[in-house]
Amino acid sequence: MSDSPESYPYQRVAGEFRARIASGDWPPGYRLPARSRLARELLGGNGGENVIRRAQELLIEEGLLEARAGSGTYVRRLRPRHTLRAPFDGLVPDGYDGTWEASSQPRTPAPVEVAARLGVEADAPCVRTAYAVLTAGGEPVLTVTSWEPMEITGATPVVLPSGGLLACLTVPERMAHLGIAVTRVAETLTPVVLDRDQAQRVSAPSGSPAHVISRVHYDADDRPVETADLLIPAAHWDLLYIHQVTPAEHQDGAAGQTGSVLGTGL
Protein backbone atom coordinates (compact mmCIF):
# COMPACT_ATOMS: atom_id res chain seq x y z
CA MET A 1 0.00 0.00 0.00
CA SER A 2 1.24 3.50 -0.87
CA ASP A 3 2.07 5.82 2.01
CA SER A 4 1.47 8.97 -0.05
CA PRO A 5 -1.08 11.42 1.43
CA GLU A 6 -3.41 10.69 -1.51
CA SER A 7 -3.75 7.13 -0.24
CA TYR A 8 -5.38 8.25 3.00
CA PRO A 9 -9.19 7.79 2.95
CA TYR A 10 -9.92 11.40 3.96
CA GLN A 11 -7.65 12.67 1.15
CA ARG A 12 -9.51 10.58 -1.40
CA VAL A 13 -12.85 11.86 -0.08
CA ALA A 14 -11.53 15.43 -0.17
CA GLY A 15 -10.60 14.89 -3.82
CA GLU A 16 -14.16 13.76 -4.56
CA PHE A 17 -15.52 16.86 -2.80
CA ARG A 18 -13.24 19.12 -4.87
CA ALA A 19 -14.40 17.42 -8.08
CA ARG A 20 -18.07 17.96 -7.22
CA ILE A 21 -17.43 21.63 -6.44
CA ALA A 22 -15.41 22.14 -9.63
CA SER A 23 -18.05 20.47 -11.80
CA GLY A 24 -20.86 22.54 -10.33
CA ASP A 25 -22.64 19.52 -8.86
CA TRP A 26 -22.16 21.30 -5.55
CA PRO A 27 -22.68 24.99 -6.40
CA PRO A 28 -21.80 27.93 -4.11
CA GLY A 29 -24.13 27.97 -1.14
CA TYR A 30 -24.95 24.27 -1.44
CA ARG A 31 -25.47 22.53 1.90
CA LEU A 32 -23.60 19.23 2.10
CA PRO A 33 -25.55 16.11 3.00
CA ALA A 34 -25.20 14.69 6.51
CA ARG A 35 -21.88 12.98 7.24
CA SER A 36 -23.63 9.66 7.78
CA ARG A 37 -25.14 9.83 4.28
CA LEU A 38 -21.82 10.80 2.70
CA ALA A 39 -20.09 8.00 4.57
CA ARG A 40 -22.55 5.45 3.20
CA GLU A 41 -22.24 6.86 -0.33
CA LEU A 42 -18.46 7.20 -0.49
CA LEU A 43 -17.16 4.69 2.04
CA GLY A 44 -19.89 2.12 2.32
CA GLY A 45 -20.63 3.10 5.90
CA ASN A 46 -18.44 1.21 8.36
CA GLY A 47 -18.00 4.15 10.73
CA GLY A 48 -16.64 6.47 8.06
CA GLU A 49 -18.09 9.68 9.52
CA ASN A 50 -14.70 10.64 11.00
CA VAL A 51 -13.16 10.33 7.54
CA ILE A 52 -15.86 12.62 6.13
CA ARG A 53 -15.27 15.09 8.95
CA ARG A 54 -11.52 15.22 8.28
CA ALA A 55 -12.14 15.76 4.56
CA GLN A 56 -14.55 18.59 5.33
CA GLU A 57 -12.07 20.20 7.73
CA LEU A 58 -9.39 20.06 5.03
CA LEU A 59 -11.59 21.83 2.49
CA ILE A 60 -12.64 24.40 5.10
CA GLU A 61 -8.95 25.23 5.60
CA GLU A 62 -8.56 25.47 1.82
CA GLY A 63 -11.46 27.92 1.68
CA LEU A 64 -13.76 25.72 -0.44
CA LEU A 65 -16.22 24.90 2.34
CA GLU A 66 -17.46 26.76 5.39
CA ALA A 67 -19.04 25.47 8.59
CA ARG A 68 -22.03 27.30 10.05
CA ALA A 69 -22.73 26.63 13.70
CA GLY A 70 -25.99 24.77 14.18
CA SER A 71 -26.66 24.65 10.44
CA GLY A 72 -24.14 22.46 8.65
CA THR A 73 -21.34 22.64 6.11
CA TYR A 74 -21.73 24.64 2.90
CA VAL A 75 -19.86 25.28 -0.32
CA ARG A 76 -18.29 28.68 0.19
CA ARG A 77 -19.53 31.57 -1.92
CA LEU A 78 -16.86 33.61 -3.64
CA ARG A 79 -16.63 37.12 -2.25
CA PRO A 80 -16.02 40.14 -4.45
CA ARG A 81 -12.48 41.49 -4.34
CA HIS A 82 -11.74 45.03 -3.24
CA THR A 83 -8.81 47.38 -3.64
CA LEU A 84 -6.91 49.20 -0.90
CA ARG A 85 -5.06 52.26 -2.08
CA ALA A 86 -1.94 53.37 -0.22
CA PRO A 87 -1.40 55.10 2.13
CA PHE A 88 -3.91 53.15 4.18
CA ASP A 89 -5.20 55.91 6.46
CA GLY A 90 -8.89 55.10 6.29
CA LEU A 91 -10.48 51.79 7.14
CA VAL A 92 -13.18 51.39 4.50
CA PRO A 93 -12.22 52.26 0.91
CA ASP A 94 -14.53 54.28 -1.34
CA GLY A 95 -17.29 52.14 -2.77
CA TYR A 96 -16.96 49.39 -0.16
CA ASP A 97 -20.39 48.08 0.83
CA GLY A 98 -19.39 46.84 4.28
CA THR A 99 -18.62 48.58 7.54
CA TRP A 100 -16.20 48.41 10.48
CA GLU A 101 -16.14 48.07 14.23
CA ALA A 102 -13.53 49.07 16.78
CA SER A 103 -12.67 48.83 20.45
CA SER A 104 -10.10 50.96 22.32
CA GLN A 105 -8.22 50.09 25.51
CA PRO A 106 -6.45 53.02 27.21
CA ARG A 107 -3.37 52.61 29.40
CA THR A 108 -2.25 49.48 27.59
CA PRO A 109 1.52 48.88 28.07
CA ALA A 110 3.39 49.14 24.78
CA PRO A 111 5.14 45.89 23.77
CA VAL A 112 8.85 46.20 23.03
CA GLU A 113 8.43 46.22 19.23
CA VAL A 114 5.62 48.79 19.36
CA ALA A 115 7.56 50.98 21.80
CA ALA A 116 10.56 50.97 19.47
CA ARG A 117 8.41 52.17 16.58
CA LEU A 118 6.86 54.93 18.69
CA GLY A 119 10.14 56.01 20.28
CA VAL A 120 8.84 55.47 23.82
CA GLU A 121 9.91 53.26 26.70
CA ALA A 122 8.73 49.67 26.74
CA ASP A 123 5.47 49.36 28.68
CA ALA A 124 4.74 53.07 28.23
CA PRO A 125 0.96 53.65 28.46
CA CYS A 126 -0.73 53.67 25.08
CA VAL A 127 -4.22 53.47 23.66
CA ARG A 128 -4.57 50.18 21.82
CA THR A 129 -7.40 50.09 19.30
CA ALA A 130 -8.49 46.94 17.48
CA TYR A 131 -10.41 47.48 14.25
CA ALA A 132 -12.19 44.94 12.06
CA VAL A 133 -13.44 45.67 8.56
CA LEU A 134 -16.65 43.74 7.94
CA THR A 135 -18.58 42.64 4.87
CA ALA A 136 -22.20 43.66 4.45
CA GLY A 137 -23.01 40.31 6.01
CA GLY A 138 -20.89 41.03 9.09
CA GLU A 139 -17.87 38.81 8.34
CA PRO A 140 -14.43 40.23 9.20
CA VAL A 141 -12.11 40.51 6.20
CA LEU A 142 -9.32 42.81 7.47
CA THR A 143 -7.98 43.75 10.89
CA VAL A 144 -5.98 46.71 12.17
CA THR A 145 -4.27 47.01 15.56
CA SER A 146 -3.31 50.61 16.30
CA TRP A 147 -1.21 52.12 19.11
CA GLU A 148 -1.02 55.76 20.17
CA PRO A 149 1.13 57.10 23.05
CA MET A 150 -1.00 58.53 25.84
CA GLU A 151 1.64 61.21 26.41
CA ILE A 152 0.29 62.70 23.16
CA THR A 153 -3.44 62.00 23.26
CA GLY A 154 -4.16 61.48 26.97
CA ALA A 155 -6.80 63.82 28.47
CA THR A 156 -7.77 65.11 25.01
CA PRO A 157 -10.97 64.68 22.96
CA VAL A 158 -9.18 62.24 20.64
CA VAL A 159 -7.82 59.88 23.30
CA LEU A 160 -10.17 57.06 22.24
CA PRO A 161 -10.04 56.55 18.46
CA SER A 162 -13.07 54.24 18.57
CA GLY A 163 -15.40 56.61 20.44
CA GLY A 164 -16.64 60.17 20.58
CA LEU A 165 -17.40 62.70 17.88
CA LEU A 166 -14.03 62.18 16.17
CA ALA A 167 -14.24 58.38 15.95
CA CYS A 168 -14.65 58.24 12.17
CA LEU A 169 -11.66 60.45 11.37
CA THR A 170 -8.26 59.35 10.11
CA VAL A 171 -5.11 59.64 12.21
CA PRO A 172 -3.99 62.89 10.47
CA GLU A 173 -7.45 64.38 10.93
CA ARG A 174 -7.61 63.47 14.61
CA MET A 175 -4.09 64.75 15.29
CA ALA A 176 -4.94 68.03 13.57
CA HIS A 177 -7.46 68.65 16.37
CA LEU A 178 -4.47 68.70 18.73
CA GLY A 179 -2.51 71.09 16.55
CA ILE A 180 -0.25 68.26 15.34
CA ALA A 181 0.48 68.12 11.63
CA VAL A 182 1.12 64.61 10.31
CA THR A 183 3.59 65.03 7.47
CA ARG A 184 4.89 61.52 6.77
CA VAL A 185 3.64 57.93 6.76
CA ALA A 186 6.04 54.97 6.59
CA GLU A 187 4.73 51.52 5.69
CA THR A 188 6.61 48.23 5.76
CA LEU A 189 4.91 45.43 3.84
CA THR A 190 5.64 41.84 4.89
CA PRO A 191 4.17 38.74 3.17
CA VAL A 192 2.84 36.12 5.58
CA VAL A 193 0.98 32.83 5.54
CA LEU A 194 -2.15 32.88 7.68
CA ASP A 195 -2.22 30.54 10.65
CA ARG A 196 -5.55 29.18 11.84
CA ASP A 197 -6.19 32.00 14.32
CA GLN A 198 -5.35 34.72 11.80
CA ALA A 199 -7.45 33.02 9.14
CA GLN A 200 -10.50 33.00 11.39
CA ARG A 201 -10.04 36.68 12.17
CA VAL A 202 -10.16 37.64 8.47
CA SER A 203 -12.47 34.91 7.11
CA ALA A 204 -9.79 33.45 4.85
CA PRO A 205 -8.41 29.93 4.38
CA SER A 206 -5.73 28.80 6.80
CA GLY A 207 -2.38 28.62 5.01
CA SER A 208 -3.37 31.22 2.42
CA PRO A 209 -1.21 34.28 1.66
CA ALA A 210 -1.67 37.68 3.26
CA HIS A 211 0.24 40.88 3.91
CA VAL A 212 1.04 42.59 7.17
CA ILE A 213 1.56 46.32 6.76
CA SER A 214 3.37 47.93 9.69
CA ARG A 215 2.55 51.64 9.57
CA VAL A 216 3.93 54.66 11.43
CA HIS A 217 2.57 58.22 11.28
CA TYR A 218 5.10 61.02 11.93
CA ASP A 219 4.53 64.68 12.74
CA ALA A 220 6.44 67.68 11.38
CA ASP A 221 9.23 67.11 13.93
CA ASP A 222 9.57 63.49 12.73
CA ARG A 223 8.06 62.28 15.99
CA PRO A 224 6.01 59.03 15.75
CA VAL A 225 2.41 59.71 16.81
CA GLU A 226 0.80 56.37 15.87
CA THR A 227 1.72 52.91 14.68
CA ALA A 228 -0.43 50.06 13.47
CA ASP A 229 -0.34 46.57 11.99
CA LEU A 230 -2.81 45.81 9.20
CA LEU A 231 -3.57 42.14 8.43
CA ILE A 232 -4.74 42.02 4.81
CA PRO A 233 -5.65 38.62 3.31
CA ALA A 234 -4.87 38.20 -0.37
CA ALA A 235 -8.14 36.28 -0.73
CA HIS A 236 -10.13 39.51 -0.36
CA TRP A 237 -7.91 42.47 -1.20
CA ASP A 238 -5.63 43.93 -3.85
CA LEU A 239 -3.07 46.53 -2.74
CA LEU A 240 -2.63 49.57 -4.96
CA TYR A 241 0.40 51.84 -4.74
CA ILE A 242 0.54 54.92 -6.96
CA HIS A 243 3.79 56.86 -7.07
CA GLN A 244 4.10 60.29 -8.60
CA VAL A 245 7.11 60.53 -10.91
CA THR A 246 8.86 63.83 -11.61
CA PRO A 247 10.11 63.92 -15.22
CA ALA A 248 13.88 63.99 -15.37
CA GLU A 249 15.34 67.23 -16.67
CA HIS A 250 17.47 66.82 -19.78
CA GLN A 251 20.98 68.05 -19.19
CA ASP A 252 23.52 69.15 -21.78
CA GLY A 253 25.25 66.17 -23.28
CA ALA A 254 22.76 63.66 -21.83
CA ALA A 255 21.83 62.44 -25.27
CA GLY A 256 25.31 61.03 -25.73
CA GLN A 257 25.33 59.09 -22.46
CA THR A 258 24.52 55.39 -22.21
CA GLY A 259 24.36 52.93 -19.37
CA SER A 260 22.10 50.53 -17.53
CA VAL A 261 19.58 51.56 -14.91
CA LEU A 262 21.50 49.58 -12.32
CA GLY A 263 24.57 51.62 -13.12
CA THR A 264 22.95 55.01 -12.58
CA GLY A 265 22.49 54.71 -8.82
CA LEU A 266 18.70 55.16 -9.12
> Residue by residue, what is the 3-state secondary structure of 244-256?
CCCCCCCCCCHHH
Yes or no: say if 28 and 77 are a contact pair by the CB < 8 Å rule: yes
CB-based contact 125:107 (threshold 8 Å): yes
Domains of the chain: 5-75 (1.10.10.10), 82-240 (3.40.1410.10)
Contact 13, 55 (CB under 8 A): yes
Q: What does 62-109 look like in DSSP terms, one character per residue?
A: HTSEEEETTTEEEEPPPPPPEEEESS--SSS-TT---EEEEEEEEEEE
Q: pLDDT tens digit string along 181-209? A: 999 999 999 999 998 899 889 988 777 88
Q: Which of 81-85, 124-128, 162-166, 256-260 has the highest mean pLDDT?
A: 124-128
Provide the 3-class DSSP secondary structure of residue 11: helix
Looking at residue 232, what is its pLDDT?
95
The 10s digit of each residue's pLDDT in 78-110 is: 778 888 888 777 777 777 888 999 999 999 999
Range with the poorest average pLDDT among 157-161, 241-245, 258-262:
258-262
Q: What is residue 167's predicted lDDT score, i.e. its pLDDT? A: 80
pLDDT band of residue 261 (cuts 50, 70, 90) is very low
The mean pLDDT of 5-21, rounded to a whole number, is 86
SS3 6: helix
**Mutual orientation of helices 35-43 and 9-23 as an angle, nearest 10°?**
100
62-66, 143-147, 234-238, range with greatest mean pLDDT: 143-147
pTM, rounded to two decimals:
0.72
Q: What amino acid is encoded at 65 in this protein?
A: L
Least trusted range by pLDDT, from 33-37, 149-153, 212-216, 246-250: 246-250
Tell me what pLDDT residue 116 has.
98
**10-27 average pLDDT score:** 93
Whether residue 6 is predicted with pLDDT greater than 90 in this model: the reply is: no
Q: What is the rounded distance in angstroms from the CA atom of residue 122 to the CA atom of residue 155?
A: 21
Q: How much is the average pLDDT of 152-166?
A: 88
What contacts 258, CB < 8 A, 6 or more positions away? Answer: none
Can you name the residues that pair with 233 across neighbouring β-strands? 210
Which of 7-11, 39-43, 216-220, 231-235 is predicted with the least confidence, judged by mean pLDDT?
A: 7-11
Mean pLDDT of the chain: 86
| Bond from prior residue into 87 cis (ω within 30 degrees of 0) | yes
